[in-house]
Structure 1
Amino acid sequence: MTFRHSLAALAVLLLSAALQADEAKPVDATPKMAYGLMMKQGDRLIFSPCRDRSYANVEDVSADGSVTRVLNSVGLDAGKRLYVELLGVLDNGTLKASAFNMARVEGRCQMPGGKEEAWRAAGNDPAWALVAGGEHVRLQRYGKPEVVLPYAEFRSDGNISRYDGANDHARLAVRLDKTICRDAQANGAFAWTASVELNGQILKGCAWQR
């Protein structure tokens, strides 16, 4: 065997070993948030990650198929394309979805909030929006001054998350319940129901993790 043939054989052996090692590598079973667009094609659910041209099949592994039920309530089963945020594991080209964060009809991709955003919440009548994370909790209301308070990690028992903050002019209490919240004006559904109390005024709406 010539030196050139020896190198070629060695390269084949190394490639084969690398492929076998990759095949033997266990799938990361830690659920992570998946951000992307979802649609239904026949009996298949197709997921396309944000800023990525790849596709994955979706398998609902949630208890009693709760993820699919929520998505169908927003319009997935009726053929609508949804922007979704699902907790799941990517396994061999299949997204195994175990929990739901939010979904909107024809919504745009929203990348993770990072250190600056842990939660978002919003409601109507009157219109309001809350962003919590980083250094501040910010509450905006239509026609009213913005309320800004220091951020502290929400206290949680699993199904309820709370925040309380105050300054010389405002006292804010936020309660998030892990129950599906539907917002007809936003054309979407969210994993948490929000109740915000500001100086005695109660604001109702939906919330989702960032």
Structure 2
Amino acid sequence: MDPETEQVLDAIGPRLRTLRRTRGLTLEALAATTGISVSTLSRLESGRRRPTLELLLPLARAHRVALDDLVGAPPTGDPRVHLEPLRKHGTVIVPLTRYPGRIQVFKQVLTPREPRQVTHEGYEWFYVLAGEVRLILGDEELVLRPGEVAEFDTARPHWFGPADGGVAEVLHLFGPRGDQAVVRAAPPAP
């Protein structure tokens, strides 16, 4: 085996261990999710077992990362994010990041729909890119225009959508466990 391939294979175990620990998973929890035994996972992480495609595919699925991220594939030279739009709750959502368990970033195209406030665990932050956004937080109602930002705890009843029956676009950050974006700049004074 050539030295470059050997080096790539040797780096997979530590990368798997770091990924698991970063996500706060035990070997037992990962074994339950993937169907791979604890001993096999331990040997993979320590480098005592060579990774195979049959082992890496369920690990990539469990961690919700591309197989290239597990292997540490060399960059292809194309820095573009390949976007895969989804339709959900009357909006088009374009995921810009793929970090399960951490703050997620989306571009969201909001289309008209009836307001229905919801609550859930997490923290939301959004920046209006285009159009006007109507935000309902409990009994409070606001209209945000391009360049304005809103942030709130999602345990508070909330809903947001286009303000004028048209379409609005936002850059949306969501922290699933109450993770909060830290904003270090303020919008210009009117």
TM-score, L = length of structure 2 = 0.27
| Larger CA Rg, structure 1 vs 2 | 1
Which has a greater percent of helix?
Answer: 2
Which has a greater percent of strand?
Answer: 1
Point out which structure has higher relative CO (alpha carbons under 8 A, 6+ apart). Answer: 2
TM-score, L = length of structure 1 = 0.25
